[in-house]
Amino acid sequence: MKKYSVMYEPVFTKEFQACVKHHAGIRKLIQNKVDAILRDPYSNSELLSKKREDWRGWRSVRVTRNFRIVFAVCEECVHRSFRERGYPLCHACEKDTADNEIIFLQVRPHSTAYR
């Protein structure tokens, strides 16, 4: 992924990077959506709720009709006290103060993204 000069700093998990590599055919669409998320992570994204697994506090945005990006906004997590309320942690987070990071967790087809 490229270097950004926006308000938010991206943090890409190994799983996210592997998914992008695996789905190389839509890499440009993924990159465009990552750029849009970094400009405004709350626009056109959905705050996830508890499904089969606990996804509360994470966000999802559509890449194509079938593909979703799952990510977490650190400032939202800290301000809304997701960690204290037992929501899932992203990459062993121990933050007590908000920062400008967005953690990109995965990009997958809708049928497997929420498993």
Per-position DSSP letters for 84-113, written without gaps between them = TTTPPPSTT---SS--SEEEEEEEEEHHHH
Of residues 46 and 52, more confidently modeled: 46
> Which pLDDT value is given to residue 5?
43
**pLDDT tier at 77 (50, 70, 90 boundaries)?**
confident
> Which pLDDT value is given to residue 91?
56
Q: How far apart are the first and last CA of the chain?
A: 25
How far apart are alpha carbons 37 and 42 in whole angstroms?
8
pLDDT at 59 over 80: yes
Of residues 4 and 24, more confidently modeled: 24
User: What is the pLDDT averaged over residues 24-31?
Assistant: 93
Question: What domains are there in the chain, each with its CATH number?
Answer: 13-113 (3.30.2310.20)
